[in-house]
Each structure stands twice: as structure tokens, then as C-alpha cells.
Amino acid sequence: MTTLVPRDPYSPEELEKLYPKHLKLQLVQVFLRHGERTPVSSRFQNAGLSPYWPYCNVARQMIQMASSKQDLSEWNGFQWRRKMEAFGNNDEAVVATGPGGQMEGMCSHGELTDKGRETTFALGQRLRHLYIDQLGFMPDIKSDTEDMYLRATPIPRALESLQQAFWGLYPASNRTADFPPPVIVGRSFSEETLFPNEGNCRRFRQLARLFADRAAVRWNKTEEMDYLNSLWSKWMPENSPKVAVDSHPRLSGIMDTINATDAHGSGTRLPSEFYDKKGREFMDKIAVEEWFAGYQESNEYRKLGIGALLGDVVDRMVSTAVDGGWRSDTTASGNPAAGKAIKMALSGCHDTTLAAILASLGAYQNEKWPPFTSSVAIELFSNASRRYGGENAGSMLEEFSNPVPTEPGKKSGLFSFLTGGSKSSAAKAPTISETARVPLGDFPPSSRKLLQQHYVRIRFNDRPVRIPGCAAKPENHLHGDDTFCTLDAFKEIVDKFTPKDWSEDCIQNLGEGLFGKGDAEKSPSGF
């Protein structure tokens, strides 16, 4: 499956089961794969596939920001139309045309297409229907985004998909006239953790290649690969005539082109053999193992590939549970103390992000490659039947805001096991930095109990998934529904592969092979 076919909205009966009345939804973090795009490189022109695709008509009237004053104090919208050039027969510059001779609306490699914009906008509409219309979790009309966190990777299609999803969630008719520009958070490539960062994490890049090499050894001389060659080898280049995990193009690259063509019009279709159902099932299975088996088997792979991101996810939920709300200085006001607690986070990312999250939590068994516009929603609930304010909250905040002295040479503890003191004294609510990356074992019993009374549930394309370590023990999940994991148990699982210094960990164990020091072979995910 290439393009996601979303399920119908939850029925009242499904909604009642999925969102029990005794649980209160507190925080939603949605990770969304970008929408449909063009292939990341031109392939199979010998099979009649045009290198230029006319599916980016929005590019006809691109809007960029241009300075209107020399001092750069004001900006105006600068509108322009895009055409693309290519090499002619004698290397001269010629206009690039689509399969029907189109000269405008041409896409570049890996660009979000018009269809991709439509499907991500529709995702935003579905989020609106669930979290606003059905659950009333977010307000119907928005005057600002102080209670939201928007982030995207540096890849343009991820940012544009996030924008489309936000517009679907809050269209112009549901934003006030004085609605300020929302803040969208970004990072440099060197510090990006919203996707598995092979380019800037040397050890992870090494591990990724080792797992890919292992997949090649396992699959290149199999009946399944023979079948794929019977379908597609006739179109492979002379210098790499056989389809293989490590051929040129790689099997995953062939899948990239097949999936992209399958999602678009008839003018950019491959020969029918490329869409053979059996062949695509083999291809998908092999590619999923090549790219994502490492998360299921290696704790080091999890740590370097997705651990920093899931560490952030847990920090936000702990801050919500312990501090009464997650706040960030990346909001438009830039003042977390005065700002609202964040209730919803939307992150524009990639297929590798979603699969890494699920596989690292043991929730990607027998799954296919995530289709375009797939999403993972991580929801935090509190037990509405219990109290979370008053004296309990006051004593908890004291524990977090009063470090205990430690022995010389040891790192100061973040929590105080106070047995006395005035609970009427105003305790300053800690920022996320005071609780971030703190191991579960360092939490005081009262805070552990609080985490045990909060629940985490993950939905992949609107389908709840099970985390093995949560489902295995009754005390780790909600009674009667093992897809609700206690925050305590969820953090315990994620702590095992959350790096304390991702950049430093990325240069450890270089050359150690598939399983580095301290990483037991086939360390199962989700426990």
C-alpha cells in the first residue's frame, strides 16, 4: 500500500471504548509522515518513466519572503513562477517537460506533490474531527498556538506537510482575525533527531550499513529475490543487472520509485510488472528488515537512531504529569513561565521516524512500510477519578525543586525526600530541564506513584498498538486494556535506550561490529 486509505471516523461506541470516561486526555504528540512525493532520484527511464513529473502545480505561484527595505525591517510577499531546465542533446539548456509536454508545475526530486498536500491537509481535518469535534480536547477557535508545539525536519516536504496538516486542523475560519504567525521549530542537520540521523551519527551509520549488509546476505540468493528478478531485471542497468538488496539501484530505491509512481497519475507509471502484488509483498518484507530490524534487535541501534527523540517524548509526558504541564520557550511568546501548558504537538517527519518509534517499542511486528501521510499519535492520560492537585501536588513539587546534598565528587540528586516543611510555601514549578533524562530509578516513590496513575497509548494510523513490556504485566497497563501503558512502565522501557549525550554516543563503539560492547545480541525491543 502506497497511499494511506484512512479508516472512517470512530463511531460513538468505538470512541467510548478508546477514550474511557475515567481517563482524562492531557497531551497528544503526533508524528506525521509527509504526503505523497516524487522519487528521490530518477530511475527506470529505460522503462518509459519520465524524469520530470508535472504534479507540483502549487509551485507555479510560489510565495517567498523578500526584503522591502534595505534595513530588512519589513517584508513583503514575493510571488514567482517556477520552470525547470534540463540538458539537451548537445548539453545545451532546454526547458524540462513532463510526459505530456507540460512546462510548468514540474517537481524536483523528493518534492511534496499536489496530492501530498491534499492528503496531509485531510490528515489535519481528521485530527480536528477527533480531538476537537468528538473529544473537545482542543478549542474550536484558535487565537494563538501557545498550547501547541510544531516542529519539522529540515527536509522541505516535512515542513510543508506539517503546514498542510495544521491548516486542516485549524483552517482560516477557525482562527481569529488577530491570530499571530505560529512558531515552527527546526534544528540543524547536525543536531536533528526527528529522523534517524545517519549523516551525523557515525556509529549509527555504521550499524545501518551492517544491518543492510546482513539483509543482503540473507535475501540476495533466495526464491523471493529470484522472483523479483524475473519481474524487473530486464530494466536494471548494465553495470548492475540483477535486483538485490545492495544492487544499483538498491531494492529499497526500486520500492521508492514504485511507491511514488503508484501514488500519482497515469503519465508516470511503470510497466505493469512493477505492480505485481506478490513481488511488492516480497520487496516490502525485505526492505522493512533491511531498514528496521536493527531497532527490534539492538539496544544501541535504538539509542542512536530514535532514542533521543523518544527521550524528548517521555520528558514532555513526565513534565505534564509531575509539573502540571509541559511548557517550552519555543512558543511564540518565548516565555514558558507565562505561557500555557502545551496540549498538542505536531511533528512533520518521515517513514523512517514512524517505523523507528514503533519498532523500538516492540510495536512493529509484521507491519508493512508506512504509507505516505501515515501518523503515530502518542497520547497521555491521567486517571480522572484520582486527585492531582492540592497537597499531593505541592509535596511532589517540593521533591523536584529541592536537590538533596550528595557526597563530594558525586552528581547532585534532583529530588528531595522531604519529610517535613511547610506545604503552604510556594514551590517554583520546575522547567523540563530539571526532569529531563532523569532515570526512573532516581524518582522518589511519590512521583513513581504519580507516573503509575498516568497512561500512555499509541495509535498508528488510528489503530491502537500493544507494547510488549506493558502488556506482559497487569501492573504495567490499564485494567482491561493492555494498549494503555502506565507512564511509569513506558518510561522504564524508553530509559533503556535514551542517550544522555547523543553526540558523544555517536562516536563510541566504532568498528565494533553489528552488536557493540554491552549490547546483547538480539536485545528485544519493547521491554
Does the pLDDT at position 18 exceed 50?
Answer: yes
The burial of 513, by beta-carbon neighbours within 10 Å (0-12 exposed, 13-18 middle, 19 or more buried), is given as: exposed
Indicate if 442 belongs to the active site.
no
Q: What is the pLDDT of residues 423-475, one digit of tens each?
A: 333 344 444 457 889 999 999 998 899 999 999 999 999 999 999 999 999 99
Is 208 part of any domain?
A: yes
pLDDT band at 73 (very low <50, low <70, confident <90, very high): low
Using the 3D structure, point to which of 245, 267, 295 is the last residue of a domain.
Answer: 295
Provide, rounded to the nearest whole percent, the portion of the chain with pLDDT above 70. Answer: 85
Structural domains counted in the chain? 2
pLDDT band at 84 (very low <50, low <70, confident <90, very high): confident
pLDDT band at 519 (very low <50, low <70, confident <90, very high): confident
Is 95 part of any domain?
A: yes
Instruction: List alpha helices for 24-154, DSSP H.
Output: 114-128
pLDDT computed for residue 333 by the predictor? 66
Is 144 part of any domain?
A: no
Using the 3D structure, point to which of 265, 295, 325 is the last residue of a domain.
Answer: 295
Whether the CA torsion 285, 271, 108, 157 is positive or negative: it is negative
Length of the chain: 527
Cα–Cα–Cα angle for 144, 148, 152, rounded to 5 degrees:
115
User: Mean of the pLDDT values across residues 79-106?
Assistant: 87
Its domain, for residue 285, covers: 199-295
pLDDT band at 19 (very low <50, low <70, confident <90, very high): very high
Does the pLDDT at position 399 exceed 50?
Answer: no
Using the 3D structure, point to which of 232, 264, 295 is the last residue of a domain.
Answer: 295
pLDDT computed for residue 502 by the predictor? 97
Residues 6 or more apart whose Cβ sits within 8 Å of residue 156: 111, 112
pLDDT band at 330 (very low <50, low <70, confident <90, very high): confident
pLDDT computed for residue 428 by the predictor? 45
Cis before residue 249, ω within 30 degrees of 0?
A: yes
Indicate if 34 belongs to the active site.
yes
Is 207 part of any domain?
A: yes
Residues 6 or more apart whose Cβ sits within 8 Å of residue 409: none
**Which of the residue ranges 164-173, 293-302, 377-386, 511-520 would you say has the lowest mean pLDDT?**
511-520
Catalytic residue among 34, 264, 454, 477: 34
- The answer to whether 35 and 253 are in contact (CB under 8 A) is no
pLDDT computed for residue 425 by the predictor? 33
pLDDT band at 69 (very low <50, low <70, confident <90, very high): low
Is 83 part of any domain?
A: yes
Catalytic residue among 147, 315, 351, 519: 351
Is 394 part of any domain?
A: no
Around Cβ 60, how many Cβ atoms within 10 Å?
A: 14
H or E segment at 209? Answer: helix 202-219
pLDDT computed for residue 398 by the predictor? 40
Does the pLDDT at position 212 exceed 80?
Answer: yes
Is 514 part of any domain?
A: no
Provide, rounded to the nearest whole percent, the portion of the chain with pLDDT above 90. Answer: 74
pLDDT computed for residue 400 by the predictor? 41
Distance, in Å, from the CA atom of 184 to the CA atom of 199, rounded to the nearest integer, reads 23
Is 15 part of any domain?
A: no
Instruction: Name the average pLDDT for the chain.
Output: 88
pLDDT band at 516 (very low <50, low <70, confident <90, very high): confident
Does the pLDDT at position 403 exceed 90?
Answer: no
CA atoms within 13 A on the CB side of 346: 30
pLDDT band at 412 (very low <50, low <70, confident <90, very high): very low
